[in-house]
Amino acid sequence: MTRNLLRRMTVVIAASIGAAGCTHIDVTKMDARKHPLSLVCIEENPNASATDIVSVIEDGFQRRGILTAVYSGNAPSECEYSVWYLDEWGWDLAPYMRRAEIRLRRKAVTVARATYVHSGGLALNKWAGTKSKLEPVIDQLLAGYEPVLK
């Protein structure tokens, strides 16, 4: 191999590794038989940066016929199950969601959780919207609950 060809191959391989980026999703899904859900209450997080994160979470539950209510402060007494969430953002030419976590609790005990992590790189999906990132995560979290046809 010529030295020039070897350099080109090295550059292509390095660029491919950097462009791949890495998205990791970790889910402990909700057991639908053990926890039949009819209502979940979503605890509003005033520190969340994504303005649409609550609506994305609500849509995920509502697609399965599970009602949602959003609250601030203490959970209303009718809320046996509540959702807690956070999002963290990074910067790479533009802001992007670096990490999100969703926990589903029964009273004060976490019974299911899901985490989305984008570790950077040059992957173009890093700048995708909240829905495209979290919808598959919520689908895994609630995999035991059948979607409701509209």
Give the CATH number of the domain where residue 131 resides: 3.30.160
Q: Is residue 122 part of a domain?
A: yes
How many domains is the chain partitioned into structurally? 1
Q: Is residue 6 part of a domain?
A: no
- pLDDT at position 8 is 57
Q: Is residue 7 part of a domain?
A: no
**Lowest model confidence (mean pLDDT) among 5-19, 54-68, 102-116:** 5-19
Mean pLDDT, to the nearest integer, of 42-68?
95
Mean pLDDT of the chain: 85
The parent domain of residue 106 ranges over 22-141
Q: Is residue 65 part of a domain?
A: yes
- pLDDT at position 16 is 43
Q: Is residue 129 part of a domain?
A: yes
Assign 3-class secondary structure to the chain.
CCHHHHHHHHHHHHHHHHHHCCEEEEEECCCCCCCCCCEEEEECCCCCCCCCHHHHHHHHHHCCCCEEEEECCCCCCCCCEEEEEEEEEEECCCEEEEEEEEEEEECCEEEEEEEEEECCCCCHHHHCCHHHHHHHHHHHHCCCCCCCCC
